[in-house]
Structure 1
Amino acid sequence: MSKGDGAVGRACSDRKTDGQLLKARVAPGVELVEDPEGLFELQISKPVGSGSMRGRALSRGLFIALVDFTCTRCPNIPSDTPLQLPSFSSGMWLTVNLCWEGRCEVDIPDGGLGVVAAGDLCVSYSRKRPAEFRYPSGRYRGVELFVNDRVAEEPAFSLLGTGDNVIWRIARKAGPAAVLTGDAELNGRMERLAALLDANDDAMAEYEVLGLLLGLQRRDLSTTKPRFLLTRAQMGMAAAARDEMERALSARHDARTMAAAFGVSATSLNEYFTRAYGSTIATYLRRRRMEEAATQLAQGAKVTETATYVGYANPSKFAAAFKKAYGVPPREWKHASGMGLRSV
């Protein structure tokens, strides 16, 4: 398919006046922007968070986007906004998502929440728009490919076979969602697609999509369900424990005490927390305390004051914990930060 044969990015740019940006407010703190070249960007700011999802249409049935969010949740683009992303106004579509950093919740109909972690490739399908996207660790980076079922009709994808629509076949195998962990071939395809986002080479990008879909056809997706499945109640407990620690990093936070408040065991709460945030409650608290300590020291705080600030009554124990986390004693970190030799 040549770049002029129905590429949505070009079609979008044709309707612009004087090369101006088109903007639409999606929700408080969320704005959709389209530039004169047909590049779309979902920009988020307070009260949602910060970051963006930037993407473009490869054809009328394909859309690729890079996501870099610092937030816990982001509302989806409603169907009635004046500015619409191309390709997906009707029909069924696959979403293929490669997580680079953070964790992302995936809605599983009648099955709770699947949490996708870094290195996971998630394949899901839907005829409905999810209301929002949730990132339990507060940070998310990844690449997403949206494939409309109409792509099977495009000549470039004839190698996928004839007969039943190939997108439907993959969707049936995947079920509502399938997660592949550490699949070097498919992850490589997604990585190369990400690199091609700004390359203006739709032919090469479609080649990578073709290889990705052929690979998905060969996988047994029926056995690749989300590794971490949580009910909404379980996710709520994990999030509440995280919020409690973030409100007061210096306080003593005991998993047993928090679990008792929810009516579950400490083992269960730690299991939910690890599925959502990638570590136990105690490990998460130690890491966040050291991150905050590093920030305080870089800003000129005294070591003893910093130790107390992050909940250590004994400066020696604080110094040992800090050196274990950062490889240098807190005084050395503070000195190097003050000289501008170390960034935090």
Structure 2
Amino acid sequence: RSSSRMAVGGRMPVAALRTTDVKRVLSSLQRRAACRREAMEGCVRVQPLLEPAAHRLDAMYERFVMGSSVDAAAASLQELEKETHAVAETLRSLAEYERRADGAQRVMRDANSLLIGARVLVARAEELSAGQAASFVDEGESVPLSELVQGTVDDARAFCREKFGDAPEIEVQADEADVPASAAAHVPLAHYARFALFEILKNAMGAHVHALGADRLDERAPIRLRHRTSASGWAHVGVYDHGGGWKHAAAAQQAALFLSSTRSSREPNYTYSRDFGEPFESMGMGLPLAALHARYLGGGIHLCGREDVGVDAILNLDVSGGRSDPEDFVAAHTHSLLAARVPISFGQRR
């Protein structure tokens, strides 16, 4: 019997296959075929939703641009905010099907690009109407890089404690700058830079918590944060965690909208109240939206994952104010939500 089962040319003779083996293989093939049919039917079912979602957002943005007064523009902005959030759930269902993922992600990237610009323009218009703004970037919106970093670290650790009961330590180090002390960098539109850094820190701390548990965070080295400014008008913030990283093959997915590593819902408990959440939490939109905000400031985010070690995340910001004009940025998107692409690049550790 053993000789009759011997492999020929590395393959098992057909006669050696038992009836149960054949049934198991056929059953597996049938399940795969059923899954494939379901996926194809899903693509057909959700395909008609994509273009209408884009056009709805496009029409609302046109209404915002054509606003006849500051109040009208502000009201249109509120409608645009609500519509973007409502459409996000529809687009997330599209992204579950590989053939439609790129289109769904593109619509959300473009919609949120427009939202960022719309918020700035409305704030600017309100300041001008009140006679408060002397320049596009008001002094109240510009803060020193070191102050922005420390404030964001404190907020992010408080967020992590509220969610998980504890937070990993973050060591902050300011590198020697290439610019004189008298010209210390002030980050314009600081709340946008703060949002981008907050999302990076949230991911880093979440990786530590998920890898170790909130009660064992001291078993791994702290998260390191380094920041510096350069004479060329750039601010650089590096966040280096030890949360395990990701496989090289999965690196490109980290830029994908709707890719979430967290559960879509959690039950409230004594550490988690749901009161300290974000509008798009658990929807896989943190890093992509952070990259949009960084790009709006003329910068970007670079990620480098080291498998079984951690992730290096570099946030680069233009603090000179000469590389990006928010008004021009928004005007370039006035006529279509489907034109802009906002990539997240993956570079080497800096």
Higher helix share: 2
Higher RCO structure (Cα 8 Å, ≥6 apart): 2
Structure ID, larger Rg: 2
Higher strand share: 1
Whether TM-score is above 0.5 comes out as no
